[in-house]
Amino acid sequence: MKAQVNGTSRDLAEGTSIAAVVALVGAPAKGVAVALDGAVVPRALWEKTIVPDGGVVEVLTAVQGG
């Protein structure tokens, strides 16, 4: 199945969790947040939340700015 991860189309295995996607993009251990289809997925739900086919995942962290 396909999903958009940080703007890039990715082939993901069925049943891929948000936690797996976070690992896939190489996110740091702290200071990271995830949105699935425009809504925040709390960290506590990363393991049990499965990315749907066509899902849009954004993995964000803090950078220098402002």
Partner 1 sequence: MDDPLIIAGREFRSRLITGTGGAANLSVLERALVASGTELTTVAMRRVDAAGQTGVLELLRRLGIEVLPNTAGCRTSAEAVLTAQLAREALETNWVKLEVVHDEETLLPDPVELLDAAERLVDDGFVVLPYTNDDPVLALKLQDIGCATVMPLGSPIGTGLGIRNPHNIELITSRATVPVVLDAGIGTASDAALAMELGCSAVLLATAVTRAQDPERMGAAMRCAVEGGRLARLAGRIPQRFWAQASSPGL
Residues 5 and 52: beta-carbon distance below 8 Å: no
- 21-60 positions binding partner 1, by CB under 8 A: 25-28, 30-35, 38-40, 42-43, 58-60
Closest separation in Å from C-beta 8 to partner 1: 8
Q: Which residues contact 6 (CB under 8 A, 6 or more apart)?
A: 25, 57, 58, 59
CA 50/CA 46 separation, integer angstroms: 8
15 binds partner 1 (CB under 8 A): no
Contacts to partner 1 by CB under 8 A? 6-8, 25-28, 30-35, 38-40, 42-43, 58-66
